[in-house]
Structure 1
Amino acid sequence: MTGQSQSTDHVQLPETTPSSAVVPRAATVGVWALFVLSAVALVVSVWGGYEWSIPGYVVVDGLAMVMWVVATFFSGIVHSYSRRYMAGDGRIDQFFGRIFAFTLIVMAVTAADHVALFAAAWLGMGLTMASLIGHVRGWEQAQAAAAIARRYFVAGSAVLAGSLALLAWTTGTTSISRIVDQAGSLPPELTMLALGGLFLAAMLQSALLPFQGWLLSSMTAPTPASALMHAGFVNAGGILLTRFAPLFADVPTAMSLLVVVGATSALFGQALLLVQSDIKRKLGASTVAQMGFMILQCGLGFFAAAITHLILHGFYKAYLFLSAGATVEQTAPKKTASTDLGLPGLIVSLGAAAGGGALFVAITGKGAHLDSGAFLAFIVVLTTLHATRDLLERSTLPSRIKLVGIPFIVVVPIAVYGFLFETISALLATVPMTNAPTELSVVHLAVGALFVGSYIAVELGWHRSSKRLYVALLNHSQPAPKTVLTTKEDYNDA
């Protein structure tokens, strides 16, 4: 246009080297040291049957040690990744100070046995994460996202503190372990009120419907902070419910409510995922769905399964966030060849689902009786069916290889999940009521029918036939307007 030729050669940017600042290095070494100590403590505890405590204040039991190992490992990965990713950031010392402090606070939450310590650590965890979401101080969208998250977290902490205060006043003790020991002997009205507050706090923390707004608006956070958030922060709702499992397990209505809310959030998050194209928002919608499944497992009475789920979800989501940049590319829409394998594909998928369910039952024993374990096995079967169908449709391998190989690829993770479930259950053996299956009820049957109907609707593409539904889902998956960069120019340097 100007008569001047433009070079199309790519410019090689200088290689970024890991930060050599004292704070990042010290924090990284410190968090990996915490991981080693936590792992050693877990091994010693399992080997010798030890449990450390400061009566009435701190209890380092199986749940605390498992979560210490998990939290410090995820945090160590984020610390190590961030030394290169955050290199050159003007506030790198503050960033590392916050993620290290966040790790310590999470460890405090999982081991706290005093209601005041638990509530204070819960609030500190939320405020620290809100600060990480708004790490870029000069970016007004980031500050808006941090303000939204802070309001949610403060509200959740207030509800939690009120519920814990009510339980402490009712039982005459400030020790959480002593409170749960009195499950079954508390006044029903006060118990329901306290359980409602605890569950509401868990819903806010885990971004369950209708509180997913803060999570979907938090994408202004640096990618390492997003990884830590999705891998270790939203999962705290499951830890809260597990810590107070005896209180919930003693009230069938509360358990049914967990099932309904968890199932609804799981389906809602999955529906939001179907209409999203933005990489980080897809991951956020996926987290809403996964947290719904975690709460659902608590409602079935399998709190150890919920802990297993949050560990696997943490590994998976941390990897996806830290590798999200490698998946972003500009492409034009194009038609893809149909890979529908028809009746053979359906038969293979059903066979894989049946095999996965049978393997899960054989490994865990859940589903061998007509209780909530049968519903958990049903979820495993449906998940295996969906995963097999999805891989058969997306894989570019020859049809014969797909029909034989993919079922084995799908069933192997089911075996891993089953064995990990059994391992976590053994590690949590001293934690009250981590496996407390409930009787099958109309609620379970209704939720099961809802899952099957939703799966059939997606398989037949009914969700694409309604523009009104598509727009509604797209609107519900949007972050708060103040947190969105609406024009490409907003990304440019001043």
Structure 2
Amino acid sequence: MLPDGPTHGLVLAAPLLLLSVGLVPAAWANAWPGLMARLCGAAAWLAFVSALLAAVAYPFEGTYAWIFYRVELPGGLGALTLGTYVNSVTVIMLMLVAFIGAIVTRYAYNYLDGDPNRGRFNKWLALTLAAILTLIVSGNLLMFALAWIATSLCLHQLLMFYPERPAAVLAAHKKFVASRVGDLSLLVAVALIGLTLHTLQFDELFRILAAMEGPVPIALEIAALLIVIAAVLKSAQFPFHGWLLQVMEAPTPVSALLHAGIVNAGAFLVIRMSPVMSHSQLAMGVLAVIGLFTLALASLVMLTQTNIKVSLAWSTTAQMGFMLLECGLGLYSLAMLHLVAHSLYKAHAFLASGSGVDAFRAPVLPHASPGVGPVQLLPALAGGGLIVLAVGAAFGVTAGHQPAHLAAGTVVVIAVTQLLLQMAGVMRGEDFLRRGLALSAVVAVAYFTLHALFDAALQGSVLPVQDADGPFQVWLAQAFVGVFLVLLVFQQVLKQAPAFLGDGIYMHLYNGLYIDVYITRLIERIWPGPLPAPGTPPAPFAPVTSPGA
């Protein structure tokens, strides 16, 4: 089936279906809340079906652009066009977001039942999903930026669904300020790219930059750095990560949509803009360093959390840091695989968080585990390394590859080591050798298989990094591996000796080193938030009580 006909219609139908529901006035939506919820759910599922059909029609090779409206911009910027841009990244993201949107709307159907503003919630949920899907299918960089801004503004209405909650208002305001800075950065980057290349069409940008050799103009270097700022702010990276931890006051479907879909827009921006990013070693390095630092901080803080949703929020921050680190290393296909896996996992984790708490509280028989001592760490690490090396060799991955791929393989070794250590705590002898090693081999095979599939699917949809074997990339890969090894050892030590940190350090980590307190005070001085209603107690800046309080 030729993709230049039906595929464009199918990918465009996905956002239009949800937009048609979102344009219903709020008063009408609240007047018929049940009907509005059913319309939103039907539109979301039809959008998912449309995305599936688009994937069937697309052969996962080549790129296809379609324009149905064009407006020339002054100053040689190019043109603002309304149209679609279809490649492997578009199709994968469209299916993922449409599926999560359908699941979230189905969950919200029961969750919001009886709420007086149920219709208004579904209106803004439909508009938010429509904006995200428009972002994905946009064929023009300025259209992409406008959809990026619309996504944030629509999400703000969902975060403010309970305006009587001071914590919700504060978190939404912090997110609003961070988003406006990111929006400005992206718009300036769009202007610099347009003024330099005189086009804003994704297909033309890819063609021009793929043929460019040598140093890029300084304007594109600046544009790449501005894209990094926009991605970092959208994905809640250090030091502006606090708002993501405090939006739990919003309804659970909003948390699921935010953590499983919208924060991933930062990584999607970098992947979509790979033609620009891959030419800027400075921008890629800055992105990787921020992602690595955020990953390390969030991983340590997670070890101290006692609230399941706060722990999930810190997990999202860490995963976003990991994803941007992969992008900074030029591992775009691995970042896309990570994005898909994390979105599906995190949507389930948030929507099932209540059941998880119930299961944790349920009485169970005590299980005596022998524990895993430090002496077992090195053998497990060596065993994990041998398994991954053997499986990697079967997939053609050898030591001669670029350092970023070796770093990613080392992370798989650490993951397999964690699995072996956990199984060693409950198994011994032949049972451990048979089941533990077999399961580790299955994990390694699954990883390399999925990575190979995504790598093949994204061929021609992203532009590889120009200097993948440079000294800076080698240094980043070594730092990448070192941080993960330290985290592995640190986690095992804490399991054996929970008092290792001491009360003071534990308390600081539990509160995220109080970084968000200072960021919140800074934002309140520069851009004060809305005043609370009379008689409303003030919202705290950050948790300052002990974990057992």
Q: Please report the TM-score for the alignment, with normalisation by the length of structure 1.
A: 0.85
1:474 matches 2:510: yes
- Alpha-carbon contact 1:207-1:215 (below 8 Å) kept: yes
Q: Please report the TM-score for the alignment, with normalisation by the length of structure 2.
A: 0.77
Which residue does 2:327 correspond to in 1? 298
- Alpha-carbon contact 1:304-1:421 (below 8 Å) kept: yes
The C-alpha deviation readout for 1:244-283, integer Å capped at 9, x for no partner, is: 1122222223333332222211111111101111110100
Which residue does 1:413 correspond to in 2? 443
Q: Measured at CA, do residues 273 and 182 of structure 1 come closer, stay the same or move farther in structure 2, by a change above 3 Å?
A: same
Residues 105-124 of structure 1 mapped to structure 2, 5 A cutoff:
105-124=131-150
- Alpha-carbon contact 1:105-1:124 (below 8 Å) kept: yes
C-alpha deviation, 1:444, in angstroms: 2.2
Amino acid at match of 1:372: A
The C-alpha deviation readout for 1:146-205, integer Å capped at 9, x for no partner, is: 222111112211111111111111222222332343334675422221111100110011
1:379 matches 2:411: yes
C-alpha deviation, 1:232, in angstroms: 0.7
Which residue does 2:48 correspond to in 1? 35
Which residue does 1:199 correspond to in 2? 228
1:80 matches 2:106: yes
- Alpha-carbon contact 1:245-1:433 (below 8 Å) kept: yes
2:85 aligns to what SS in structure 1? strand
Distance 2:218 2:197 in 1: 14
Which residue does 2:529 correspond to in 1? none
Amino acid at match of 2:49: V
Distance 1:360 1:132 in 2: 45
1:21 matches 2:45: no
2:511 aligns to what SS in structure 1? helix
1:64 matches 2:90: yes
How much identity, in percent, do the aligned residues show? 26
- Alpha-carbon contact 2:138-2:144 (below 8 Å) kept: yes
Which of 442, 448, 455 is the equivalent residue of 2:488?
Answer: 455
- Alpha-carbon contact 1:367-1:376 (below 8 Å) kept: no
Q: Measured at CA, do residues 70 and 191 of structure 1 come closer, stay the same or move farther in structure 2, by a change above 3 Å?
A: same
List runs of 5+ in structure 1 lacking aligned partners. Answer: 1-18, 488-494
More displaced 10-residue stretch of structure 1: 306-315 or 397-406: 397-406
- Alpha-carbon contact 1:74-1:228 (below 8 Å) kept: yes
C-alpha deviation, 1:426, in angstroms: 2.8
1:234 aligns to what SS in structure 2? helix
More displaced 10-residue stretch of structure 1: 200-209 or 430-439: 430-439
Amino acid at match of 1:203: V
1:427 matches 2:457: yes
Q: Measured at CA, do residues 473 and 483 of structure 1 come closer, stay the same or move farther in structure 2, by a change above 3 Å?
A: same
More displaced 10-residue stretch of structure 1: 19-28 or 87-96: 19-28
Distance 1:415 1:213 in 2: 37
Amino acid at match of 1:451: F
- Alpha-carbon contact 2:65-2:139 (below 8 Å) kept: no
C-alpha deviation, 1:225, in angstroms: 1.1
- Alpha-carbon contact 1:361-1:367 (below 8 Å) kept: no
Which residue does 2:67 correspond to in 1? 54
- Alpha-carbon contact 1:357-1:380 (below 8 Å) kept: no
Q: Measured at CA, do residues 278 and 402 of structure 1 come closer, stay the same or move farther in structure 2, by a change above 3 Å?
A: farther
List runs of 5+ in structure 2 lacking aligned partners. Answer: 1-31, 69-80, 518-537, 545-549
Which of 144, 155, 158 is the equivalent residue of 1:132?
Answer: 158
- Alpha-carbon contact 2:36-2:119 (below 8 Å) kept: yes
RMSD: 3.1
Aligned length: 467
Which residue does 1:317 correspond to in 2? 346
C-alpha deviation, 1:66, in angstroms: 1.0
Which residue does 1:443 correspond to in 2? 476
C-alpha deviation, 1:20, in angstroms: 7.9
The C-alpha deviation readout for 1:89-110, integer Å capped at 9, x for no partner, is: 1111122222222222111111
Which residue does 2:262 correspond to in 1? 233
- Alpha-carbon contact 2:61-2:88 (below 8 Å) kept: no
Distance 2:269 2:61 in 1: 27
Residues 262-341 of structure 1 mapped to structure 2, 5 A cutoff:
262-328=291-357, 337-341=368-372
Distance 1:328 1:483 in 2: 25
C-alpha deviation, 1:336, in angstroms: 7.6
Amino acid at match of 1:179: L
